[in-house]
Amino acid sequence: MRRIAVVPGSFDPVTLGHLDVIERAAGLFDEVHVLVVHNPGKTALLPISQRVSLLQRAIADAGLPDTITVASWSMGLLVDYCLEVGASVLIKGIRSQVDVAYETPMAIVNRNLAGVETIFMLPDPANAHVSSSLVRQVAALGGDISPYVPRVVAEYLQKAPV
């Protein structure tokens, strides 16, 4: 039986912290689906299609395994996607107690809804302070985001500052 995990998130935009979690997840599972999901609680910077494209290019540039696929989901619950592709595990990066508090209720609800388990993965300490919201803010104010994001993201946001 193939072990399939989903790494869900807004990825607005993908950061080096995300890429680290995706790479390590790929080392643990036969297939990893990186799933871009709209979070209604956040004001989006990039359209979903652009986030998917940047993720695909960042994953290819980093030479990550082809067992990783990128998709988006807007058809309902996250666990519906998991059931559709046969994934039994969600993987979330956890940088701090704030993330634990934010992720724990979702993990419990997702397990109650469909028996999908959530694994929390600690970031590489080098990325523990990196978040998409920080990147959006620095980019909007004209700062250098290259230490925090894959090269394709830095180039894209420099060319088309939003």
Catalytic residues: 18, 42, 95, 132
Cα–Cα separations (whole angstroms), residue 150 to 11, 18, 62, 93, 153: 12, 10, 8, 17, 5
Q: Which is nearer to ligand PNS, 66 or 88 (CB)?
A: 88
Residue 78 as a binder of ligand PNS (CB under 6 A): the answer is: yes
Supply φ then ψ for residue 111, to 5 degrees. -70, -40
Packing angle, helices 78-85 and 97-114, rounded to 10: 60
Q: Which of 28, 30, 39, 161 binds ligand PNS (CB under 6 A)?
A: 39
Q: Which of 37, 52, 70, 130 binds ligand PNS (CB under 6 A)?
A: 37
* Count, residues near ligand PNS per rule CB under 6 A: 11
Packing angle, helices 48-61 and 16-26, rounded to 10: 60
3-state secondary structure of 91: strand
Residue 71 as a binder of ligand PNS (CB under 6 A): the answer is: no
**Window 103-122: contact mask with ligand PNS (x via CB under 6 A):** ---x--xx------------
Residues of this chain that bind ligand PNS (CB under 6 A): 8-10, 37, 39, 42, 77-78, 106, 109-110
